[in-house]
Structure 1
Amino acid sequence: MQLKALFASVLLASAASLSAQALPPPVPLPGDSAEDTKLKRLFYDSDERDLRLNPISAIFRGDLRYADRLGDFYTDASEERDRRNTLADLAALRRIDRTRLTVVDQLAYDVFEHGLLVSLKSYRPELLRVSRALPINHFGGLQTFYPDFASGKGAAPFKTVLDYNNNLKRNAQYAAGYDRIIARFRAGMKAGIVQPRLTVVNMIEQFDNLLKQGVEGSTFYAPVTMFPATIPAADQARLKAAYAAQVRDLINPAHRKIRDFLRTEYLPRARATVGLSAMPGGAAYYDYRIEASTTLPLKAADVHALGLSEVARIRAEMQRQQAAVGFRGTLVQFFEHLRTDPKFAPKSAAAIKASYESIAKRVDARVRDQFALIPKAPLELRPVPAFREKTDAAGSYQEGTPDGTRPGVFYFNTYDLPTRYTWGEETLYLHEAVPGHHFQISLAQENAALPAFMRFGGNTAYVEGWALYAESLYRELGVETDPYQRMGGLGDEMLRAMRLVVDTGLHAMGWSREQAIDYMLANSPGSRTDYTAEVERYIANPGQALAYKVGQLTILRLKADARAKLGARFDPRAFHAAVLDTGSLPMPVLERKIGAWISRQRARE
């Protein structure tokens, strides 16, 4: 796994507890054949190796055996190592007779194989030539996730002196990583493969924001401002001095070095174009990014056409909501009304949080009517940290730990408060929290019967497709009951439909940033602030945004098929359990699984 996989996307109590945090070796279940046992051992050994090589992934899972390390990243040697490991896993998998596996293990075999085959494609020389030249951007990079990770409020634990010492070691490795990033950017400059100017400007601003914090105001200093009572006073004093020195003498200089490089050396060489197809090898790299995100070998032109069709359908639904509120004028004028009427602007960040808490209570009151599987993990609501709120999405989710010691977190953005429209809150909660990301990710993590790569891994089409599908349950969950909130739901669905048009437009059809923003403003009530961030996200992370709609449409189609074939026997709780109970699946594997589930349900008639 390359470090970029942590971005997508995505706890040590004492030294004595380390081994308890690791997953135990697999134990054969009743009915397992020798082939099942071999398969599970392959999964286990592969996962153990990947945790050792990717300590941050392990920490997010609550496994802290390697918590003093950040991992080897942004090196040719680590990529070659990962390529060889992928080939070795595939060879071992092919030595297992799939026909002798249980039904569940056949599913796991297929998921593992699909992931390996897609991963192998990323190591093709023509694709590596592009990916290596673009090591970070304003949406995916060390600076976008690591400061929060190490802040005392992220995934890294701060319960013991050892936790604090481990963080110092990781921070040092973090700072050292920027030299490798600069080297890759310089190699890209020589090859004519460089980031767009707007991406570079955004990155410079991110590093400026981190540097403006100074020392004791730094996100990296924050852990020593919130010691647990169990940390002795002498250790607190020592750690405060050590953290201050590290921020002053190591982290801030690293940030200043990369910021100055980007501003003085790289920005003048950055390109005015924004799409991948404008660069050498960019078109082939975009084809790969489409397949990696959607799990399907789709062509950009076909995705673009699908997006145009969905946009037209959703516009018609929006016009019905406009008529329901009695607004006279064009649909575009109705959008402007939604953007500018002060009654839709939240009064404060606290008011936004209170509103989400109210939505949560209403959804929780009805969610068991639709779901038999309910995660045990708690959910916490937090504002997006200030250092990244300008370029962050309106909402996001960070998974908790499988044992519930760290809750899942729904982050809501309070930047540019007048544009955080109240009519968008209900659909955003369904997507990011319940029954969206929090349900899907937590249920997978809590299912100890799954191999680790299915509990903790995933693909964007399934993960984001599920969350977008969750928005479609608004009626069943008792929200979006007034036309304005329903417009928020349609606006979010329109956003995902427009992504099919805009992402392909930018990277395959020569669209400009401004053309993309104008298209989105003409077809949805979102703000220019949001759509500017959205378009710049697509520019930075090509193909990822396509997966939402592709995944949602797949799940909706499977649900419609189940309804048609099962009739009165269709139970949404059973359907949702069938979709969710084996973790994130590639779309072809999900289709085969639900098809078999429908057949079993019919056989019981």
Structure 2
Amino acid sequence: MRALLLATIAALAMPAEAEVKEGPEAAAVETPSAALARLFRESDEAKLRRNPVMALIRGDLRYADQFGDYVSDAYFAAEKAAAEADLARLGAIDRAALSPEEQVSWDVFRWQRTVELAGFAPGILELAKHLPVDHFNGLHALVPDLFSGQSIAPFRTVKDYEDNLKRLDGFVQTLDRTLARMKDGLARGIVQPRIVSERVLGQLDRFVEGGVERMPLMFPAGNFPATIPEADRARLRAAYAAKVENEVLPAYRRMRDFVRDDYLPASRGDEQPGLVSLPGGARYYAYLVRLQTTTNLTPDAIHDLGLAEVARIRREMERVMREVGFRGDLRAFFEHVRTDPNLKFASVEAMGEAYRAAGRRVEAGLGRLFADVPKTPLEIRPVPAFLEKDAAGAYYQPGAPDGSRPGVFYYNSYDLPSRTTPGVETLYLHEGIPGHHFQVMLAFENERLPAFQRFGGNTAFQEGWALYAESLGRELGLFTDPYQYYGRLDDEMLRAIRLVVDTGIHHKGWSRQKAIDFMLANSSQGETDVVNEIDRYIAMPAQALAYKVGDLRIQAARRRAEKALGKAFDLKAFHREVLMTGALPLEVLDAKIDRWIAAGGRG
């Protein structure tokens, strides 16, 4: 679960539109459709004003000189009031008088705002706001990436550079407010587990000890585009150096010193690092399960589902093990996959080429499964060096809706000897095409959708689709190599294991080592990857549940449609129905697919 700034950024949005008036627009006679569109438009515009980094990510530069707040009580109060007001206005709009597409939007908006509002309940907000930093999320790690000139913030004009200097003022202020939250949390006994604090301290140390020139926030001043006049470069570089040296780095030192001297010694131990060890943690975890899975599944039901999926996938792994002629048990086969030199990358460059080759194979088969393809291109890049140690094995960064920025599939080459080749095709399907790139960019490019639906979303749909996309490998002509198919199973096993270990850690009180041992015993993931994964689940409760839960719901919807429609079932049409209305809560998706089936599979 990301901090609220991260949740805001995950809502990624649209380019600037015409200015919207403050408050509800006057309307003499207004249809339900017009009232709904106005609500969506005004709610979105108000959210952009409260969250200027969200606007920046969308390519909307109206607030580019502002950073925002994200951590104060006033910010939380404003977000809560906005959710209450939006729900009140939505309730006054007659859903029955709307078109089927508008009804879907009505349902999504209600679900999103209702769950957001539940997050401001005192017991839940109390924990969320006092745990603002972990090694995956938090301003300290996020902002240097976003404003590095290699990510979402533009650096094409002198104004872009000057706007960023102003944003950095807000960043420093908000970083200090974040530190104050951590201090308050420490006083209340609400602290992160020790392993999270250690990893955060390592990140802060790297920023502080790297000094001015190695701070990613300096990168734009060291790599000016041709559009920046020579006369401005020396001035801007001096201004950036002064900002980083005199304001940004001292803020990092303040946070680093506090984490090292006070926070880390008081952090929770590895024996019970889950939320269950905090007062009110069980309630908070139940909320996060609802938020992340968009279902009413309980932690116990998810844990049992995970155990059943682990057993099923193990049986299929054993079949592949026999197919490749391996002699030994599955545990020995896992070790073989981890250590066989023939299953290692020769170099970082070879790793990148393996992903590019997988992309070419996928492209050749897309026309059989999809009628809709994003216009935005996808690039393949290594994870930036300053992020790779704590980053996942791969991740996706969306492109800009106007085509000015491509989508990017990032692969992690850190500790290259621990990386194995069998996961190449599966990771590309998940993070690239037809996984996240299709799901995100088809929505971004669909201008018929309201902004919150076009650019918002939820983890269960987004990650569920990406995991479902892995299952399309054979239909796309992949997995002809049994080791690549094994890689698919190993990644599916990872998502099934997550159901067990996440609920184990945060609901059943598992130790960190017990979770690590369970994952090592049931997959061929390298130990470096396993440790990073477990520490991720500790830091981000319930987020990892969404993948498998979402995948199972999409798989079930496809089977339901295939059975009901028979020969009339069209896979391309099914994929269009799933993808072209944005990332839906799974409850809303189920209802939409059922209506599509009832209509004979016609949109």
Asked if TM exceeds 0.5, the reply is yes
Q: Which residue of 1 aligns with 2:24?
A: none
DSSP-derived class of the 1:583 partner: coil
DSSP-derived class of the 1:601 partner: coil
CA displacement, residues 76-124 of structure 1 (integer Å, 9 cap, x when unaligned): 1110111011000000000101110111101100000001110111011
Q: Which residue of 2 aligns with 1:338?
A: 337
Counterpart amino acid of 2:538? I
Q: Which residue of 2 aligns with 1:321?
A: 320
For 1:160-559, list aligned pairs within 5 A: 160-272=157-269, 273-559=272-558
So what's the TM-score if we normalise by structure 2? 0.96
Q: Which residue of 2 aligns with 1:114?
A: 111
CA displacement, residues 126-181 of structure 1 (integer Å, 9 cap, x when unaligned): 11111121111111111232111111110000000000011111122112222111
Aligned-pair distance for 1:254?
A: 1.1
CA displacement, residues 325-375 of structure 1 (integer Å, 9 cap, x when unaligned): 000000000000000111111111111111111111110111111000100
CA distance in 1, matches of 2:221, 2:34: 46
In the comparison of the two structures, how many residue pairs are matched?
Answer: 592
Aligned-pair distance for 1:297?
A: 1.9
DSSP-derived class of the 2:499 partner: helix
CA displacement, residues 359-397 of structure 1 (integer Å, 9 cap, x when unaligned): 111101111110001000111111111112111100000
Contact 1:55-1:67 at 8 Å conserved across structures: yes
CA distance in 1, matches of 2:432, 2:265: 42
Contact 2:496-2:548 at 8 Å conserved across structures: yes
CA displacement, residues 272-309 of structure 1 (integer Å, 9 cap, x when unaligned): 13010111010100000000000112211000000000
CA distance in 2, matches of 1:204, 1:381: 30
CA distance in 2, matches of 1:348, 1:33: 63
CA distance in 2, matches of 1:74, 1:497: 34
CA distance in 2, matches of 1:564, 1:98: 30
Greater Cα offset, 569-578 or 32-41: 32-41
DSSP-derived class of the 2:212 partner: coil
Percent identity over paired residues: 51
Q: Which residue of 2 aligns with 1:44?
A: 41
The answer to whether structure 1 residue 142 and structure 2 residue 135 are counterparts is no
DSSP-derived class of the 1:390 partner: helix
So what's the TM-score if we normalise by structure 1? 0.96
Contact 2:12-2:58 at 8 Å conserved across structures: no
CA distance in 2, matches of 1:9, 1:341: 41
Counterpart amino acid of 1:77? A
1:505/1:20 CA distance change after superposition, 3 Å? closer
The partner residue of 2:82 within 82, 85, 97 is 85
CA displacement, residues 535-556 of structure 1 (integer Å, 9 cap, x when unaligned): 1111111001000011000000
Greater Cα offset, 104-113 or 349-358: 349-358
Aligned-pair distance for 1:24?
A: 7.6
Contact 1:7-1:141 at 8 Å conserved across structures: no
DSSP-derived class of the 2:414 partner: coil
Counterpart amino acid of 1:220? L
The partner residue of 1:35 within 32, 36, 49 is 32
The answer to whether structure 1 residue 571 and structure 2 residue 560 are counterparts is no
Counterpart amino acid of 2:350? A
CA distance in 2, matches of 1:33, 1:603: 31
Aligned-pair distance for 1:213?
A: 2.5
Aligned-pair distance for 1:10?
A: 5.2
Contact 2:33-2:98 at 8 Å conserved across structures: yes
Q: Which residue of 2 aligns with 1:29?
A: none
CA distance in 2, matches of 1:535, 1:196: 12
RMSD: 1.8
DSSP-derived class of the 2:576 partner: helix
CA displacement, residues 500-538 of structure 1 (integer Å, 9 cap, x when unaligned): 000000001111111101100100111111111111111
Counterpart amino acid of 1:538? Y
Contact 1:60-1:400 at 8 Å conserved across structures: no
DSSP-derived class of the 2:488 partner: helix
Q: Which residue of 1 aligns with 2:4?
A: 2
1:283/1:23 CA distance change after superposition, 3 Å? farther
Aligned-pair distance for 1:211?
A: 2.2
The answer to whether structure 1 residue 22 and structure 2 residue 24 are counterparts is no
The partner residue of 1:123 within 114, 120, 123 is 120
DSSP-derived class of the 1:488 partner: helix
Counterpart amino acid of 2:7? A
DSSP-derived class of the 1:382 partner: strand
CA distance in 1, matches of 2:247, 2:168: 9
Contact 1:25-1:41 at 8 Å conserved across structures: no
Counterpart amino acid of 1:140? N
CA distance in 1, matches of 2:530, 2:487: 15
Aligned-pair distance for 1:21?
A: 3.2
CA distance in 2, matches of 1:33, 1:368: 43
Counterpart amino acid of 1:455? R
DSSP-derived class of the 2:334 partner: helix
Aligned-pair distance for 1:23?
A: 6.1
Contact 2:396-2:410 at 8 Å conserved across structures: yes
Q: Which residue of 2 aligns with 1:16?
A: none
Aligned-pair distance for 1:22?
A: 2.5
CA displacement, residues 482-512 of structure 1 (integer Å, 9 cap, x when unaligned): 1111111001100000000000000011111
Counterpart amino acid of 2:16? Q
Q: Gaps (5+ residues) in structure 1?
A: 12-18, 27-31
Counterpart amino acid of 2:278? M
1:327/1:7 CA distance change after superposition, 3 Å? farther
Greater Cα offset, 299-308 or 227-236: 227-236
CA distance in 2, matches of 1:115, 1:359: 36
Counterpart amino acid of 2:157? T
Aligned-pair distance for 1:250?
A: 1.2
1:158/1:483 CA distance change after superposition, 3 Å? same
Counterpart amino acid of 2:221? V
CA distance in 2, matches of 1:72, 1:516: 36
Contact 2:573-2:601 at 8 Å conserved across structures: no
Counterpart amino acid of 1:341? D
Contact 2:144-2:215 at 8 Å conserved across structures: no
Contact 2:196-2:539 at 8 Å conserved across structures: yes
CA distance in 2, matches of 1:557, 1:45: 36
Aligned-pair distance for 1:252?
A: 1.2
CA distance in 2, matches of 1:454, 1:432: 21
Counterpart amino acid of 2:282? A
Counterpart amino acid of 2:373? I
Q: Which residue of 2 aligns with 1:60?
A: 57
1:24/1:487 CA distance change after superposition, 3 Å? farther
CA displacement, residues 7-32 of structure 1 (integer Å, 9 cap, x when unaligned): 66759xxxxxxx98336879xxxxx9
Contact 1:2-1:79 at 8 Å conserved across structures: no
